[in-house]
Amino acid sequence: MASNLTLTTAEFEEKVLKSDVPVLVDFWAEWCGPCKAIGPSVEAIASEYEGRAKVYKVDVDNEGELASTYGITSIPQLLVFKGGKIVDSMRGAGPKPQIASLLERAL
C-alpha cells in the first residue's frame, strides 16, 4: 500500500468517497517543505493502518481542481473521509501521533 499513495481526480470518487473504510488524504506539493517533513509519517501510517483504513496523497499542482473542490488553500492539509464525507482535518505539519489520531477517531 505505502509504495504508491498517489491519487488523481479520476480515482477520487472510487477510492475515497466510495471506500468502506476511513480514508486519510494528504494534500501536498513537491516544493512544500512542511509537506516533505510529514511525508515519512504519512507513508508509515499507510502501512500501519493497511486493512483498517486507506491513505492517499494528492499533489495540488497536478490535481488543482480537486484541491479547489475541497477548499485547500494551504498545504499540507490532511482530510479524513468516512462514508464519503469529511469527518476530520488537520492543516499544517504535525507529529506522527497527531496525524494517526485523525484516523483513530474515524475508526
**Residue 15 catalytic?**
no
For the cut 50, the answer to whether the pLDDT of residue 1 exceeds it is: no
Q: 95 is in which domain, residue-wise?
A: 9-106
Does residue 32 carry a catalytic annotation? yes
| Selected catalytic residue, list 7, 16, 23, 32 | 32
Q: What is the pTM of this model?
A: 0.95
Cis peptide before 34 (omega within 30 of 0): no
pLDDT tens profile 33-80: 999 999 999 999 999 999 999 999 999 999 999 999 999 999 999 999
Residue 72, in any domain of the structure: yes
CATH of the domain at 87: 3.40.30.10
Q: If DSSP codes are grouped into helix, strand and coil, which group holds residue 70?
A: coil
Tally of domains within the chain: 1
pLDDT band at 4 (very low <50, low <70, confident <90, very high): confident
The arithmetic mean of pLDDT across residues 71-94, rounded, is 97
Active-site choice (7, 25, 35, 38): 35
- The label of the residue with cell 483504513 reads 53
